[in-house]
Amino acid sequence: MTSVSSPVRPAPPERRRTIPGRAPAGRARFTRPSPRALRTWLAFLLLAGPNVVLLLVFVYRPLLQSFYYSTLQWNMGSPTARSVGLGNYVEWFQDPTTADVMVTTGVFMVATVGGSLVLGLGLALLLNRRLKGRGFARTVAFAPYVLSGVAVGMLWLFIFDPRYGLLSAGLRAIGLDSPDWYTTSPWALVMIIVVYLWKNVGYVALIYLAGLQAVPLELKQAAALDGASSARTFRSIVLPLLAPTTFFLTVTTLLSSLQSFDIIQAMTKGGPLGSTTTLMYQIYEEGFVTGRAGYASAVATILFLLLLVVTVVQLRFVEKKVHYA
């Protein structure tokens, strides 16, 4: 995401020959490493080792264990389990609720990623203007992002309450009835999306704001001299220059959207009737509520693969279309 206009780092000359402990080119042969090479290795282990160990223990070990658990029929908390091979995966693909979960996940993802990019950019454009109290407004806009998702969820439950909530009072004032947000299928998902956007849009706005401030003023001035309207300037100059920011935000908001859990747990617990059960929430529900730890691990593996594919596709294909200034 950084600029690549700086001079390219010169490749270390004859780097290969100076690598310690490496056998000469050609067939690999064991040679006793020199004391110097050993010292280098030791230094490498001392510096990189602790981080690598932490990653292995707290990231890769659970990941591998989860792959293993996904091949078991295991009731959470039980000391025994039965191996079922790929049975859990087969069941997930055959389960009629899988389609619903994937649709919910897709709708949530598109709405939250798209929504937060559009609203975040709008907010950033607004906050980039010379307004009175701009610093305060920026702080307020960013504040929800640092709040706990559970607290945010609880707060918005009161706002959405169809009988006593602020929103229903507002709707009544303009002669509309409040939908029953908690118990009607499409509305519950809308509610979750609105709250997610409120919480996360400040982050997107902040990053966009940084991007906007990096757009060179002289480009905009040159466009103005050429008679470009502000809309045209935005479309042809600002937006393309924001492409790296947009790309970065797409990747991060997409990942966080697919992993969101706290707001759903606090507000709807995946209901009503599973209408807010995303893939992430399904993992929790199967693992901790129904107690099917093996099946939950299989769903977790599927989510992991999905995230992997999405990220690789973005980095491989979408990034190529991004124009770095």
Partner 1 sequence: MNQPLPAQWSPSRRDVLRLGGLGALALSLAACAGPTVGGGSSAPSASAGTDWSKITPASQITWWSNHPGASKAIEEELIRRFNAEHPDIAVKLVTAGAGYDEVAQRFQAASSSNNLPDLVIASDVWWFRYYLNGQVMPLDDVFAHLDVDVADYNPTLYGDYAYDSRHWAVPYARSTPLFYYNKTMWAAAGLPDRGPGTWAELAEWAPALRGQVPTDGAPLGLATGTSWAAWWFENMLWGHGGQYSDEFTVTLDTPQALAAGDFLHDLFHGSKVAGIGTDTGADFAAGVFASTIGSTGSLTGLLEAATFEVGTAYLPDGPSGSGTPTGGTGLAIPASRTPEQQLAAAMFLSFLTDPENTAYFSQNTGYMPVRTSAVEGETMSSIYAATPQFRTAVDQLAEKSRSQDWVRVFVPGGDQILTEGIEQIVLKGTPAAEAFASIAPRLEKAYQENVEPSL
27 binds partner 1 (CB under 8 A): no
31 binds partner 1 (CB under 8 A): no
Residue from the set 31, 34, 38, 49 that interacts with partner 1 by CB under 8 A: 49
51 binds partner 1 (CB under 8 A): no
Binding piece for partner 1, criterion CB under 8 A, among 128-136, 181-189, 211-219, 305-313: 181-189
Residue from the set 24, 50, 58, 65 that interacts with partner 1 by CB under 8 A: 65
3-class DSSP state of 31: coil
Closest CA to 260 of 278, 273, 285, 286: 278
18 binds partner 1 (CB under 8 A): yes
CB of 147 to partner 1, least distance (A): 19
Token pair listed for 141: 């806009």
313 binds partner 1 (CB under 8 A): no
Token pair listed for 115: 């929504």
C-alpha torsion angle, residues 67, 70, 71, 75 (rounded to 10): 140
* Residue number with CB closer to partner 1 (185 or 252): 185
CB of 132 to partner 1, least distance (A): 42
3-class DSSP state of 93: helix
Closest CA to 279 of 70, 104, 24, 30: 104
159 binds partner 1 (CB under 8 A): no
| Residues 6 or more apart in contact with residue 124 via CB below 8 angstroms | 204, 205, 206, 208, 209, 211, 212
Token pair listed for 300: 């977790």
Positions in the binding site for partner 1 (CB under 8 A): 12, 15, 18-20, 22, 36, 39-41, 43-45, 48-49, 52-53, 56-57, 60-61, 64-65, 68-69, 72-83, 161-164, 180, 182-185, 269, 271-274, 288-292
